[in-house]
Structure 1
């Protein structure tokens, strides 16, 4: 690299680092004004699970940036929308009121799940129907929340956080009365304050999380992880891409098998 080009690169990197420091100071000041810690609401934008984030900036001095710190975020993929079950809400009777088992094979590991068709018949019928027709195949888990609450969000074929199967359904089923979602929980995403807005997006809880209810109630719990929680935890430990909520390493659902 030429001397002038190298100096220009270092100058830009330092300016970005300064901007990050200033943003951190602004966040700390805002936190002191509104509360010691702030929890947002889990919402989904027209079909997405939006998870809560706690700002845990404690004011500790930050190290000077490295090249990876100032790297530009990877652009979100442009993927086509998909219609599930012909755009019709699956019949909850399809859950048969029983326990189902399933395997989510992802690009980073296998996650095995158990689905409770008795406690959440509509959610389980929906998930089983979509899984069996390959709706989730080759989709990207587009959102990771690594603080405040601890969830990995999947199920949007467009990877934008706004995609769905062409229908929505409700009401909320089997939400915890105490707003506590233990590690390993599988739950449905929905629009904030709208109990009839669930579609295909779901989230996996990898650490115990308290997610406040809103006017629509809590979030539909339809199953649990029985094996592979460590896979999800490893995704979370790697963090997110700079400036985004996308996991550092793309997490692609390669297929879902249900029995």
Structure 2
């Protein structure tokens, strides 16, 4: 084979390789590919964070509403009380009081026998008016026993309702004297009387918890519209209902949340529990 033939063969081989080779990636294209990978990662992380937050709330010993957890924000009530930046009072409300200097702690879960088979009426005085609750000790004896105990020991006097949700789930969450969504009374207990279909009707009183089914403590929530919550993990304990004052909850929810988002976070219009008194309801 002559040198001319060898050069022709090499040229043909090179041309064939060029036909099957992938086109080179420019710097601009490579940058777009890298950006796409980063964006996808951010979206996945955001979804992982958002889903637990929607499921409920925090309570008891952290990690946590959740609950899912509701972290402290810059709009949480200060130790001196009053309004945080961006907050405004709803009609009929007074400025929230200062947080408790040292929230009360307990270590022993109250005996559920003290509430079993009984019905109680709780009068919750708030900075926006009185909310009256009926507690069902027949269906949720441990939860009601705890609520009655915390009320009698002044655990919530005072304490802010630190979370309102206005999209997907419709609740006002209260019961943490620290106002952060991370506080608990010092003990925890399990789930009772959770609906199998995950439906919580308007005016339902239920317990907030972390993803741990045994993390019920002092935080609770009121639904101001029918709400569907996940049943995975056991659901959330229903232990009573609002019999008076649900309009107060609706008024707070109507002004939405301030932070971390308008649909889930610290209420724009603050509301604090000032005192809770409980009496047994006789047949």
TM-score (norm 1): 0.72
1:49 to 59, 65, 77: 65
CA distance in 2 between counterparts of 1:130 and 1:152 reads: 19
Superimposed CA distance per residue, residues 69-114 of structure 1 (whole angstroms, 9 cap, x where no aligned partner):
xxx9635435445234x32110001114111111111001211110
CA distance in 2 between counterparts of 1:114 and 1:249 reads: 25
Who is 1:207 aligned against? Answer: 225
Structure 1 residue 231 corresponds to structure 2 residue 231:
no
Structure 1 residue 196 corresponds to structure 2 residue 214:
yes
2:158 to 131, 138, 141: 138
- Bigger-Rg structure (1/2): 2
Structure 1 residue 255 corresponds to structure 2 residue 275:
yes
Q: How many residues align?
A: 207
Who is 2:23 aligned against? Answer: none
2:203 to 184, 203, 211: 184
Contact 2:197 2:231 in 1 (8 A): no
CA distance in 1 between counterparts of 2:229 and 2:196 reads: 11
CA distance in 2 between counterparts of 1:81 and 1:212 reads: 34
CA-CA distance at 1:213 after TM superposition: 1.6
CA-CA distance at 1:189 after TM superposition: 1.1
Who is 1:65 aligned against? Answer: none
Aligned residue runs from structure 1 range 1-259, under 5 A: 40-44=54-58, 46-47=60-61, 49-50=65-66, 74-78=75-79, 79=99, 80-84=101-105, 86-170=106-190, 172-192=191-211, 194-214=212-232, 216-243=233-260, 245-259=265-279
Q: Residue 258 of structure 2: SS of its match in structure 1?
A: coil
CA-CA distance at 1:209 after TM superposition: 0.1
Q: Residue 87 of structure 1: SS of its match in structure 2?
A: coil
CA distance in 1 between counterparts of 2:172 and 2:138 reads: 25
Moved over 2 A (4+): 45-49, 72-84
CA-CA distance at 1:43 after TM superposition: 3.6
Q: Specify every segment of 5 or more residues in structure 2 that has no aligned partner in the other structure, as ranges.
A: 1-38, 80-98
CA distance in 2 between counterparts of 1:250 and 1:227 reads: 19
Superimposed CA distance per residue, residues 132-188 of structure 1 (whole angstroms, 9 cap, x where no aligned partner):
111111101111111110011111011111101111111x10000110000111111
Superimposed CA distance per residue, residues 192-234 of structure 1 (whole angstroms, 9 cap, x where no aligned partner):
1x121111011111110000122x2110100000111111000
Contact 2:203 2:241 in 1 (8 A): yes
CA distance in 2 between counterparts of 1:44 and 1:217 reads: 15
Contact 1:51 1:151 in 2 (8 A): no
